[in-house]
Structure 1
């Protein structure tokens, strides 16, 4: 099951911006549409739209490609920096890549045309650069890490939290490198910071130009400035601290235990991360830190602590604004399996079917079998949650405008001289999905909510001969009136929605 029959207005915006790039060339580093978003991934969308046409498939193909590349980059990074022996690195890389590839969280965003899917890839490249810098301890590698860190700001607004998390770890790393002269360590930091600033300079220049309104997005979603967030009513330090603490805990609760549906992207029908995978990742983090499994464990801890601050201080989008940690959770879950295996290896086991004990250093096949079942259970639950529960759900279909996409398909079948009277309480004729998928149709709003004349009307303009009434949502109840007014009408009904109503009803009076 996929989202192929539905589409979101934000996906259409991505496609429209891709078309604008094809027309104009560079459109800068930031687009004000959809509350504002970096344009980095949109240039890839432009290439896809240029090759495959202005379709939702062309927009989503970019997400699918980036999601696939992310898994490959993740595997390669783990093979080099997972920590432990070479055999452990190989196992962790395979398990981690499998956990990420089957993650409902990752699959969901890989199947929709949101630029968000590029964020984990940018975060992984940034982390990989930092790991190489820590390994080689050479200024040029710290410059590379800085460039990769700065590039992420062109993928998603919340990347600033990744930069803070990685920056905090780098300070931690530099402080612990006491055998290296302090002047050299300061040189590493200077190389990193200067590279970040130079790379991010185009975005910084755009952001600090007041006429661009860059900070309107953050002001709209920040709990400190957004209306009705509840923050303005808190006056005591204790109440503010308790409010923020509760929101911080809620981020993790929403992620793995008691999720809420996000009306923007549709995720949250079930928790994005299965509870068992979350617990396994926590075990991997604790064991990895205790056994000093390398810098990637340390980075994961810093990300786990700092990244939830983003959704804590903003409204809505809890799962989106922490999405960059998805690969790290997959890595930690893989380490958790290694932790259980190593624990079993240090014990003596009485045989299940025979009296002798299994020697220390050997793991009974039943334990290995349980670990295999644990892996299959987590990946299987992720796939089941994604393709059986989440994507086919009524909530996702509503979020991705099943009715509007069906209307657009119908509009594209009409003759060139057709004129459409459109009735919908949810969408106007200017909704981005209609503009992207059925732009050449002559259409006017006739609903009470969006009517061009300001008044609802079923009257027919005699000057327009090829008229089609298209009814969506409760306006389908007007069908008997239309049949009474125009008894010779031809009626077309769209496929049924999950509740049984047609996606649309079209009435052609002649």
Structure 2
């Protein structure tokens, strides 16, 4: 799945190695997805549904969140939208170029994330539904439908698209043959069937229920703070109801072959004047949603918004269909003097409510949720930037976040907004940092501190960190005491002359870790350190 990594490398080459360049890669593809989604839906369903769904996607917490983090899953929906867009263009316009582009994006999509493997099945179900609809006696002729697909007309184009997709996929396919683990390794890691088929099937049933209820039922949402407000549903109650109504509308439309009565705004003159809806669209929307949720249904930890983020456009499309149909039915029931204006106000009001709720959830509630800051490596980021700034000259280059800092030899000037720095004398050109191996080797710490292990930093091991002969620098020892290793009471008891020189504080005010400085003259010889520690050599990982 190298596409996202290649994109990050290109962004680093253009804008330098930085957190901004890393995150902006996902933001670029997420924004592009919104634009392509609008183009796709405008062709499939017309401007009204396209605008409702696209505005919804623009504020959809599910999509917005993963546009601001560096997960490769955000690219799947973009390629699926491109494939659908060019298939529709090819069918309506009968241009070989569009078939070739559809095949190109189909083959390239396999380089994004595992869930794109469901894309061919989504497209196949869409094709079957369109073929079934095209066989109806009342089906409109090609001339009236803009080259409506039949059983024969698109086959050469489909063959061309498949050929281009195969050529595009070939390098990845060769890698799968040479390295089978690359093809199924992750699938085996998250499989529910490693304990037997019956237990696996029961787990699949539970996961399927959870993935369905997560859209509107409190307590059933994704529990991982890195993905979601723990256990919070995707939609608010009102929008969730419209979403499930949309599923009902699309189910009826699919059963009726796309002609199951009105579909809300899409059938109103002046509101949605465009070519007739693409055949098979209800099946496409439902298949897109259901199959892109399968990555969570068939793996542990469900529901999982990260693995299924490619379903977000389908979910918001279905919500738009439910909102459109509901607005039309309310107007039909109320019989206002100006139904068109009322429909518009109902849709605008519902979208405004949806946007405000989603943004409040994300930007107000989510940052205060338990475990969010830890899940996003806030401490590791702070530590890496602290180390980078502490080892830089006072007027040295900026850190990876764009903030400057340095060590003046009498305390750390550090990063803008840092708290907890004590007025203690230390010199990281001479003193030694002792940090647990899991923390010092953490990718975020390495990235933010400049890549390699900084000079003067050593893996924390006791009682070695207490001895004056552990380093030749002759300076003090700064030992990282964390909430996990519990070293602070021990250090304060046996080295009362020591002092806290920096605290790593979360935004909620809790202290995750701190550096405790033992002056050089207070360090012990090996025998005394062993007696104080009271046990054998102990590596401290965290």
State if a TM-score over 0.5 links the two structures.
Answer: yes
SS of 2:308's partner is: helix
Shift of 1:134: 3.4
Shift of 1:315: 1.8
Flag the structure with more relative contact order, 1 or 2, with Cα contacts below 8 A and sequence separation at least 6: 1
Residue 448 of structure 2 is matched in structure 1 by: 437
Residue 221 of structure 1 is matched in structure 2 by: 190
Question: Is the Cα contact below 8 Å between 1:108 and 1:267 reproduced in 2?
Answer: no
Shift of 1:175: 4.9
Residue 315 of structure 1 is matched in structure 2 by: 300
SS of 1:224's partner is: coil
Residue 353 of structure 1 is matched in structure 2 by: none
Pairing partner for 2:234 from 272, 288, 291? 272
SS of 1:42's partner is: helix
Residue 305 of structure 1 is matched in structure 2 by: 290
Shift of 1:391: 3.1
Q: 1:338 and 1:377 mapped to 2: Cα distance?
A: 15
Pairing partner for 1:465 from 468, 474, 480? 474
SS of 2:206's partner is: helix
Residue 224 of structure 2 is matched in structure 1 by: 262
Residue 41 of structure 1 is matched in structure 2 by: 4
Tell me the alpha carbon deviations over residues 332-362 of structure 1, each in whole angstroms, 9 at most, x when there is no partner.
222322212322343453xxxxxxxx45xx3
Q: 1:325 and 1:476 mapped to 2: Cα distance?
A: 43
Closer, same or farther in 2 for the Cα pair 1:377/1:44, shift >3 Å?
Answer: same
Q: Which has the larger radius of gyration?
A: 2
Closer, same or farther in 2 for the Cα pair 1:241/1:135, shift >3 Å?
Answer: farther
Q: 2:238 and 2:333 mapped to 1: Cα distance?
A: 24
Q: 2:516 and 2:64 mapped to 1: Cα distance?
A: 35
Residue 491 of structure 1 is matched in structure 2 by: 501
Pairing partner for 2:55 from 98, 105, 111? 98
Q: 2:444 and 2:200 mapped to 1: Cα distance?
A: 41
User: After superposition, where does 1:84-483 map in structure 2 within 5 Å?
Assistant: 89=47, 91-137=48-94, 140-178=97-135, 182-210=151-179, 213-225=182-194, 231-232=195-196, 234=198, 243-257=203-217, 258-262=220-224, 265=227, 268=230, 270-287=232-249, 289=253, 290-291=260-261, 293-295=277-279, 296-316=281-301, 318-347=304-333, 349=335, 358=336, 362-363=338-339, 369-415=345-391, 417=429, 419-423=432-436, 427-438=438-449, 439-440=451-452, 441-442=454-455, 443-446=457-460, 451=461, 457-460=465-468, 461-466=470-475, 467-475=477-485, 477-478=487-488, 481=491
SS of 1:208's partner is: helix
Question: Is the Cα contact below 8 Å between 2:216 and 2:233 reproduced in 1?
Answer: yes
Question: Is the Cα contact below 8 Å between 1:256 and 1:271 reproduced in 2?
Answer: yes
SS of 1:259's partner is: coil
Shift of 1:208: 1.6
Q: 1:121 and 1:506 mapped to 2: Cα distance?
A: 49
Tell me the alpha carbon deviations over residues 434-491 of structure 1, each in whole angstroms, 9 at most, x when there is no partner.
1211135132221xxxx5x8x7854442423344222222435425525743725562
Shift of 1:374: 2.0
SS of 1:320's partner is: coil
Shift of 1:327: 1.3
Question: Is the Cα contact below 8 Å between 2:100 and 2:160 reproduced in 1?
Answer: yes
Shift of 1:383: 0.6
Question: Is the Cα contact below 8 Å between 2:229 and 2:369 reproduced in 1?
Answer: no
Closer, same or farther in 2 for the Cα pair 1:77/1:211, shift >3 Å?
Answer: closer
Shift of 1:132: 2.0
Q: 2:506 and 2:296 mapped to 1: Cα distance?
A: 37
TM-score, normalised by the number of residues in structure 2: 0.73
Q: 2:110 and 2:205 mapped to 1: Cα distance?
A: 27
User: After superposition, where does 1:17-56 map in structure 2 within 5 Å?
Assistant: 38-56=1-19
Note the residue ranges of structure 2 that are not aligned, 5 or more in a row.
Answer: 136-140, 142-148, 254-259, 264-276, 392-427, 521-542
Residue 64 of structure 1 is matched in structure 2 by: 27
Note the residue ranges of structure 1 that are not aligned, 5 or more in a row.
Answer: 1-37, 84-88, 226-230, 350-357
Q: 1:144 and 1:366 mapped to 2: Cα distance?
A: 41
Aligned residues: 440
SS of 2:497's partner is: coil
Question: Is the Cα contact below 8 Å between 2:285 and 2:314 reproduced in 1?
Answer: yes
TM-score, normalised by the number of residues in structure 1: 0.77
- Cα RMSD for the two superposed structures: 3.1
SS of 1:250's partner is: helix
